Chains A and B, each alone.
Chain A
Amino acid sequence: MHFFRVVKWIAWKDLLSEYRNRENISSMFFFALNVILIFSFSFSLDPETLKEIMPGIIWVAFGFTAIIGLGKSFLIEVNNDCMEYFQCLPVPKGAIYLGKFLGNLLFMLTVEIVLFPLFVLFFNLTLLDQFLPLLLISTVATIGLSALGTLFSALTVQIRAREVMFPILLLPLSVPIFIGAVEATRGALSGDPLSSYQHWIELLGVFDVIFVVVSFWIFEFILDY
């Protein structure tokens, strides 16, 4: 089968099953909503301080969302005994990884786009004129996060205590993504021109390429077991 057709079908399968049961997106969304609510009543802040810590709040919420959503990515495959089929498929294993990665990326982005209006609502922000730069930053950062998350989901799904191990492995290694995303978001929220935080977005782009390529290459070893 053609490589990109495999990628497309794997991603399509995930999207279709998500469309039918809406389990993953709804759990990610309501979890993030809880996080935002807790943040909004634990910090009653003046607008200046809020501007200072807002990027952190946004990315902590997105990070938790990633843990909830990405961790379950391969769980459905194990529960339905599909891992064996993946192992037997006569296709490059990297294509399976890319398909799952694309599916996860779309779920994460959907949730993030829905969450932005909630930040406006609960924290009294004005994001409308900064929406496009914020969307760009979220997309670039989420690519890296999904790349690592998909890989670690496949790695931890077959072990005991997977709920504990997934964040323990994912969070330290995704620190550079969080640093880049928070700094770029800070620039966007303060209304600076794109050129003043463009280097952070470029840096995130470089991380994305590295993480996707390495995970793509290494995924084959995981699927062997």
Chain B
Amino acid sequence: MVATRFIGWLRRFEKWFGFVAAILIAAGLYTGLVTSSPDYYQGEVVRIMYVHVPFVQTAMLSYFTLFICSIWYLWKRESVVDNACHAAAGLSLFFTAGGLLTGSIWGKPTWNAWWVWDPRLTSFAILFLTLVGYLMLRTFLEDKEKGATFCAILAIIGFIDLPIIHFSVEWWRSLHQPSSISTRGISIAPDMMVPFTLMGVGVSILFAYMLMVRTQMLYLQHLLEAKQGRLLSEGQFE
């Protein structure tokens, strides 16, 4: 019952999320790539920031979603929540890979290296590997319920481990620039702030939209499998 109501709710609102995300990202890309001024030190190269930073933030947001959904699943055992976990994991992998790729492209002209062993890069590489492991674990477990539980456990352990990894590498070595927005204030020029915000919010809403669509897809697939199984057992298909 809960699942049907939840899916109905997703169906009603998903269009609007998609629509708003498209508008915000279009506006963000236009202001970021055309109207905003280039950086004093980095020149035109800095424009990749408008894609890189939103991707990285959304990767963290999606992993956090996965963590919350995993706890929720272990608590309530609703299969639709497991579908949301599965969807969030796939999207998290997508945004993590995007963040790593754009970061690497940005790193070459600014640090003169595609890759350095910096805390944030290392944590993200490990996040990437953990998510690949998560999705592999899902494909190898035939029993749906067991798979859902084991994956939820893995997601929770991974979430607890990530700050530890970050912290330990930070002690080890550091090169990445500190965050531009922190409790000390904002250190970005105002005309850069506009595309930055638009893209940040836009990509987050895009994530919400993708999550809604993918969760529905996985839920329907689950229903279909259940129905096929029932019909097979009733002998309607030979």
Using a CB–CB cutoff of 8 Å, the interface residues on chain A facing chain B are 148, 151, 155-156, 158-161, 165, 168-169, 171-173, 175-176, 179-180, 183, 199, 203, 207, 210, 214-215, 218, 221-222, 224-225
Contact = CB atoms under 8 A, between A and B. Distances in A.
B136 interface: yes
A222 B150 contact: yes
B156 A176 contact: no
B52 to A, nearest CB: 22
Contact of B149 (A176, A203, A221): A221
A225 B171 CA distance: 39
B118 to A, nearest CB: 13
A210 B133 contact: no
Interface in B115-132: 122, 126, 129-130, 132
A159 B140 contact: yes
Contacts of B145: 225
B100 interface: no
Nearest to A158: B146
B132 to A, nearest CB: 8
B154 A172 contact: no
Contact of B126 (A151, A172, A224): A172
B158 interface: yes
Contacts of A221: 74, 149, 152-153
Given A179-B172, A215-B157, A222-B149, 6 more contacts: A171-B129, A175-B122, A179-B169, A183-B172, A221-B74, A224-B149
A179 B145 CA distance: 35
B146 A160 contact: no
B161 A173 contact: yes
A173 B169 contact: no
A158 to B, nearest CB: 7
A183 B126 CA distance: 19
Contacts of A148: 157
27 contacts: A151-B157, A155-B154, A156-B137, A160-B140, A160-B142, A165-B133, A168-B132, A169-B154, A172-B126, A172-B129, A172-B130, A173-B126, A173-B130, A173-B157, A173-B158, A173-B161, A175-B126, A179-B169, A180-B168, A199-B171, A203-B171, A214-B156, A214-B160, A215-B157, A221-B153, A224-B149, A225-B143
B141 interface: yes
Contacts, number: 77
Q: How large is the interface on B (under 10, 10 to 19, 20 to 34, 35 or more residues)?
A: 20 to 34
A156 B74 CA distance: 18
B164 interface: yes
A175 B165 contact: yes
Interface in B88-126: 122, 126
Contacts of A225: 143, 145-146, 149-150
B154 A176 contact: no
B161 A176 contact: yes
Contacts of B158: 173
A19 B160 CA distance: 36
Contacts of B171: 199, 203
A176 B160 contact: no
A190 B164 CA distance: 27
Contacts of B164: 176, 207, 210
Nearest to B128: A172
A148 B153 CA distance: 12
Contacts of B157: 148, 151, 173, 214-215, 218
Interface in B147-194: 149-150, 152-154, 156-158, 160-161, 164-165, 167-169, 171-172
Interface centre among B137, B142, B157 (most CB of A within 10 A): B157
Contacts of B140: 159-161, 165
B136 to A, nearest CB: 6
A169 B168 contact: no
A210 B168 CA distance: 14
